[in-house]
A = this chain, B = another copy of it.
C-alpha cells in the first residue's frame, strides 16, 4: 500500500491528504436540514449529515488527491451511527480508488493491539470465514506502550501489505511536555524516531517502508532532524493551514527525491467555503464543495512553490 500511495502521489503531483474530520459546525445548513428532516436531530441524523458532507467533498476532489484521512473521533462522538458513517466513508473512498489513512491513534498491548490491527487493517477470522472489518489502508498508532504495542500492527502490515504512521512528534502546542524531554542527550521524539526506523526496516515497500511517522508541520526544525533519522519512512504531516504550518515549513519533511512526506489539511479544505478568500470568488454555502476543490489546488500550488517543483 505504501507503493500505491507513492505512485498516486507521483501521478497526482500532490503530496497531500484531505482530512475528513466532519465537525457538525463545518457542515452547510442545507445538508444538515435535509438529514435532520429525514432522521430527526438524532445520532442517525448527524451521521447522515457527515456522510453526505464527506461524499460531496470526495466527489469534488478525488481526481486531484492521492489519499484521505478520516479522523475516527469525529465519528465516534455520534456512537454506533457515527462509526457506521466512518465505515461508509472508507468504502466510498475505496470506490474512488483513494488511499484511506484511518486516523485512529490506537495502541495497546499484545493481543489487544493485534485486535486493533486486525479490525482496522487486517482480516478477522470467524469460524471458517474471514472478514476485513473497517479495512483502512493505513492507520495511525501511538507508541507509548513500546514494541509490544507496535509489533502486532507491523505483522498485519506485512501480511496485508498495508501501513501505519506512528506518532513521533505531534503538531499540538503541548506536544513537547513529554515528547521533547531529554533522555541521554536527545529528546524522546528522536528515540521514538529511531525505533520507527528500526520497526520500518522489517517491512519495506519498493522505496519506502510500510511503517511511517507522524510529525507536525508546526515543528519544521524537528521535522528536518527526524527526516534524517527515518530516511525510509513516509512522514504524515498534520498541522498545515489552520494549525499554523505553512508551505515553506514543509520543505524539511521531504527527501531529495521530492517524496517522503504527505501533508494533511482538514478544516482548510473541507470547510474552505467559510474562508473569505473563497467567498470572494463567489462560492456560496450551497456550492461548498467547489471551495474544497479550489482549496486543494491552492494547497498543491503552495507546496509545489515551497519545494520548487512548480
Contact = CB atoms under 8 A, between A and B. Distances in A.
Contacts of A111: 23
Interface in A216-251: none
Contacts of A143: 144, 178
A265 interface: no
A118 interface: yes
A269 B32 CA distance: 46
Contacts of A191: 178, 181
A87 interface: yes
A268 B173 CA distance: 42
Contacts of A183: 181-183, 188
Contacts of A281: none
B178 A115 contact: no
A46 interface: yes
A79 B119 contact: yes
B147 A177 contact: yes
B172 A109 contact: yes
Given A76-B115, A181-B191, A42 B105 contact: no
A302 B71 CA distance: 43
B113 A73 contact: yes
A174 B110 CA distance: 10
B174 A118 contact: no
A107 B71 CA distance: 12
A192 interface: yes
A112 interface: yes
A80 B84 contact: yes
A268 to B, nearest CB: 14
A82 B177 contact: no
A179 interface: yes
A173 B76 CA distance: 31
B179 A146 contact: yes
A118 B24 CA distance: 13
A133 B119 CA distance: 21
Contacts of A170: 109, 144-145
Interface stretch (A7-15, A124-132, A293-301): A124-132
A126 B73 contact: no
Contacts of A146: 172, 174-179
10 contacts: A73-B113, A73-B116, A74-B112, A74-B115, A76-B116, A79-B131, A107-B142, A145-B175, A147-B174, A148-B174
In the A-B complex, the 9 residue pairs with the smallest Cβ-Cβ separation, listed nearest first, are A79-B133, A146-B177, A146-B174, A41-B127, A77-B119, A109-B172, A73-B115, A148-B172, A148-B174
Given A42-B129, A73-B106, A145-B167, 8 more contacts: A24-B126, A41-B128, A42-B131, A83-B83, A144-B179, A145-B174, A148-B174, A177-B195
